[in-house]
Structure 1
Amino acid sequence: MKTLSIVVPCYNEQESIPLFYPAVDKVVKQMDVNVEYWFINDGSSDKTLAEMERLHDDHPKQVHFVSFSRNFGKEAALYAGLQASTGDYVVVMDVDLQDPPSMLPTMFNSLESGEYDCVGTRRVDRKGEKKFKSFLSSQFYHVINKISDTEIIPGARDYRMMTRQMVNAVLSVAEYDRFSKGIFSWVGFKTKYLDYHNIERVAGDTDWSVWKLTKYAVDGIMSFSDAPLSLAIWIGLFLSIVSFLGLLFIIIRHFISPGASAFGWSSLACITLFIGSIQLVFTGVVGKYVGKTYMQSKHRPIYIAKIKK
């Protein structure tokens, strides 16, 4: 009998954990599989750890958890769960039950057929979410697929079931700044996607604000594309040509119309400010890439575990 590892990253989810376990366990019991749960406490400030300990005490053979020394982020929690898992198949799920447990048997059977290495999920709509957040999300997928060689499936969730071979491949990508959606695609392997409609959280509030999503999107773009650097080069080249043509125009006009005005200090100040701003923006872009290289070169651990049971 195969073993299925269920990886569940958690951050301030004390209300969701007691609802998640029975909902998933009810489905798993109908499957011909052994199961282990790996809950990852990402430095929660509420009673999330206490809920994990209670579940572990009630089901010591099935339920395990890792508790971080501080908040390292969902990407680190996901990596820790994959690293701790021992199953033949590994599935990543959100604890808020927005990832429907009813899909687990279909995912498992698809992998058992041997035709696929991974079965992922994607939302076909974002009903219940704020329209502005949905708009930003759709634009992110549009942009990153235009500038990156790695295809990121629009609407794809972290909710996916993978073979042990694929999990080992994902773990071998030991990047400090991780973008799992990109890594799942980059490692390859044959993947099947199941569509479903958006489901609202069963409890609690999401920690993903527009600012955090924007920062996550920027990190994703810079992890899987050097297009911002290329953009800096082309804009710099364009401004150089415009500046040269402007200088040429002023020189020619001076000989054609002696005493012609150069438009004064205000125009010169605006041009200087414009070019200086562009330089600062793209110096920041280059600095961002250098910063990522710097952080990677330190070889810091992706997470630090305080408790593991």
Structure 2
Amino acid sequence: MTKKISIIVPCYNEEKTVDIFYKAICETFKKIPNYQPTIIFVNDGSIDQTLPKLRKLVQQPEIESHYLSFSRQFGKEAGIYAGLKNATGELVTIMDADLQDPPEMLIEMVHLLETTDYDCIGTARENRKGEPPIRSFFSNMFYKLINKISDTQIVPGARDFRLMRRNMVDAILELTEYNRFSKGIFSWVGFKTKYLPYKNVERVAGTSSWNFWGLFKYSIEGITDFSTVPLIVAVWLGLLVMVIAFLALMYIVLSALISGNPTRGWSSTISIILFLGGMQLFFLGIIGNYIGKIFLEVKQRPLYIIKEKK
């Protein structure tokens, strides 16, 4: 019996990779003929020739393909959610068009789902070879930090590339939150998952749309989406500074009463005031980030707007 697999491919400026990706998927599924793939390309407001290429690709007879094209760039998270909403397969996978998610791994992933009771087969990079050292360092720190402060555990190096059963996909679609961090959502829904390690693969063509600042903001989103620890830290650190300031004040008062000398150190006082003011602004920023998320949620705007589809 033939089973249908939906392949979700978020795309942003991937004109150099979509054709290569399509051919790689064709070659992969020749080795697992009992499975019928359907590719769902999600064009996230690309400004190159990605959309014209997708229009041509969906006319190709080898594999059934469709595309959704957003009215503007809404981000990869919106692309993933749109793909999941439109996926109809019994099995669903998410892949990058740049072939950093090796298509040949689908063969083992399909086999494991069919021969075990796992609900999801995920992937995790063993290393980050080929990336700038600073990016690798902060990425490793992110996984260590979020796993310490959040109840939702994320496997270090985990990718969005995973093969899921329909029941897991339906559970993910029930989470309609505006602020989305898919790696956390995949773990939060709690289905039984096995991760396959693999070595880092460089892009087959083109350049990544992710830069260090974009990844940093994405990591902050992940932390604040799945943990309130930053707020708790702000409270306890504020109390600690208040106690230290009170003790320092008592020392100054007692010193003035006992010695009779006026308190000196105008410059040091100003420095302390500036330090405390900066700390207050920093924690106001943390609180503001959480309030901003509430603001976006209560507006209930759609995660994306589709301009064209086929």
Classify the TM-score, shorter chain.
over 0.9
The residue number in structure 2 matching 1:262 is 263
The residue number in structure 1 matching 2:285 is 284
The residue number in structure 1 matching 2:169 is 167
For 1:15 and 1:176, the matched residues in 2 are separated by 31
Which of residues 180, 183, 191 is equivalent to 1:181? 183
The residue number in structure 1 matching 2:118 is 116
Please tell me the residue identity of whatever aligns with 1:8: V
For 2:132 and 2:71, the matched residues in 1 are separated by 33
Instruction: Could you tell me which runs of 5 or more consecutive residues in structure 1 were left unpaired when the two chains were aligned.
Output: none
The residue number in structure 1 matching 2:68 is 66
Displacement of 1:30 after TM fit?
1.8
For 1:29 and 1:78, the matched residues in 2 are separated by 26
How many residues matched? 308
Report if the CA contact (8 A) 2:153-2:187 is conserved.
yes
The residue number in structure 2 matching 1:193 is 195
Which of residues 244, 253, 263 is equivalent to 2:255? 253
Please tell me the residue identity of whatever aligns with 2:29: V
SS at match of 1:101: coil
- Please tell me whether residue 271 in structure 1 is matched to residue 260 in structure 2: no
Report if the CA contact (8 A) 2:101-2:161 is conserved.
yes
Report if the CA contact (8 A) 2:9-2:39 is conserved.
yes
Which of residues 139, 145, 159 is equivalent to 2:147? 145
The residue number in structure 1 matching 2:217 is 215
SS at match of 2:162: strand
For 2:157 and 2:12, the matched residues in 1 are separated by 22
Which of residues 103, 124, 127 is equivalent to 1:125? 127
> Residues 139-198 of structure 1, C-alpha deviation per residue, up to 9 Å, x if partnerless?
100111111010011000000000010001111111111100000000000000101001
Displacement of 1:107 after TM fit?
0.6
Displacement of 1:264 after TM fit?
3.2
SS at match of 2:308: strand
Which of residues 45, 69, 76 is equivalent to 1:43? 45
Please tell me the residue identity of whatever aligns with 1:123: R
Displacement of 1:282 after TM fit?
0.6
The residue number in structure 2 matching 1:107 is 109
> Residues 88-136 of structure 1, C-alpha deviation per residue, up to 9 Å, x if partnerless?
0001000000111111011111111241000000000111111111111
Instruction: Could you tell me which runs of 5 or more consecutive residues in structure 2 were left unpaired when the two chains were aligned.
Output: none
SS at match of 1:15: coil
Give the alignment's TM-score, normalised by structure 1.
0.98
> Residues 7-44 of structure 1, C-alpha deviation per residue, up to 9 Å, x if partnerless?
00000000001100111111112211111100000000
Displacement of 1:61 after TM fit?
6.8
Please tell me the residue identity of whatever aligns with 1:167: V
- Please tell me whether residue 155 in structure 1 is matched to residue 157 in structure 2: yes
For 2:130 and 2:116, the matched residues in 1 are separated by 36
For 1:73 and 1:57, the matched residues in 2 are separated by 26
For 2:62 and 2:72, the matched residues in 1 are separated by 24
- Percent of aligned pairs with the same amino acid: 51
Displacement of 1:308 after TM fit?
1.3
For 2:56 and 2:46, the matched residues in 1 are separated by 16
Which of residues 231, 234, 237 is equivalent to 2:233? 231
For 1:223 and 1:73, the matched residues in 2 are separated by 16
Alignment of 1:17-36 (within 5 A): 17-31=18-32, 32-36=34-38
The residue number in structure 1 matching 2:85 is 83
SS at match of 1:14: coil
For 1:282 and 1:110, the matched residues in 2 are separated by 46
Q: Which ranges of 4 or more aligned residues in structure 1 deviate by more than 3 Å?
A: none
For 2:155 and 2:209, the matched residues in 1 are separated by 23
For 2:197 and 2:280, the matched residues in 1 are separated by 44
For 2:99 and 2:156, the matched residues in 1 are separated by 20
